[in-house]
Amino acid sequence: MIEDVAIESWEHLHDEVFRDAWNPRLGRFRSSWLFRGGARADYDLKTSLMRLGGDYWNREGHLLRNFRKYAHRETVPFDDDWNWLALGQHHGLPTRLLDWTYSPYVAMHFATQDAGAYDEDGVVHMVNFRDAHRRLPDELIGILNEDGSHVFTTELMSRYAITLREFDAKASGAGSPFVLFFEPPSLDERITNQFAVFSLTSDPRITLDAWIAGDRSLARRLVIHRRLKWEIRDKLDQANITERVLFPGLDGLSRWLARQYTTPNPVADE
């Protein structure tokens, strides 16, 4: 079971997201955790591909092939599946990827941005990418070690497999299922400002919830009580963690203004 932590205050939330951040070997604060915010605490870690229903795993290749066919070639730095997969995820294509961030504040934003969900508890999911990567096949661990990295890039992914089909074929022979994390290319300011990382499962039918459930060291869920949401939201706004920054452009500006002028509806203590 994944550990649930009931967040009691703004200070408690900070204690939890920065817990274990100290790296004595480096003498620096370098967290091994990635974060993902959800407006409702019952949100699971299903991918957008899974939410298509039916035999969704058989549609993945068709989705990616057609996305590449109809998108502009100049929109990715390299013409390989990993760059196209990252671009598709970024623009709402159903994929087996999930969005994560290095920034706990970005995750807090997504847990509190929806004013229509302020009557429900929110959540910040945390996953330890270093521990997850210790469970990778030896070849993938070797690629990370050779590069001196802890997280993959699209270029490092191509050293293991050029295509998603080749990746699946090699992963199926690796034995146990695994999950890896890779940084997308800086396609635009949104990816950069959100400090984005994607998770990739070795099989599109694997849910991250199920994969991490057997080891409590891999993940935890910070459950944010609904009465804390407005406080967290207002303090994030003051820290400039807003739609204007995370979604640069007129869309982000409009979303920020709409939320700024939403009438608060405080939840009574229970």
Q: What pLDDT, in 10s, does the model give residues 53-77?
A: 999 999 999 999 999 999 976 677 7
Task: Answer for the pair 49, 96: CB distance below 8 angstroms, yes or no.
Answer: yes
- Average pLDDT over the chain reads 93
Which pLDDT score is estimated for 78?
78
Place of tokens 């050029």: 162
Alpha carbon distance 156, 203 (integer Å): 19
266 secondary structure, DSSP code? P
Mean pLDDT within 222-233: 96
The answer on pLDDT for 1 being more than 80 is no
Mean pLDDT within 216-239: 95
Which pLDDT band holds residue 269 (cuts at 50, 70, 90)?
Answer: low
3-state DSSP percent of the chain in helix, strand and coil, to 5 = 45, 15, 40
Mean pLDDT within 85-100: 95
Alpha carbon distance 241, 48 (integer Å): 25
Q: Tell me the percentage of the chain whose pLDDT exceeds 90.
A: 80
Give the range with max mean pLDDT: 22-26, 52-56, 80-84, 172-176: 52-56
pTM of the prediction?
Answer: 0.93
The answer on pLDDT for 85 being more than 60 is yes
Residue 55: alpha-carbon gap to chain centroid:
24
Which pLDDT score is estimated for 233?
96
Which pLDDT score is estimated for 262?
86
Mean pLDDT within 187-200: 92
32 secondary structure, DSSP code? -
Which pLDDT band holds residue 270 (cuts at 50, 70, 90)?
Answer: low
Which pLDDT score is estimated for 26?
85
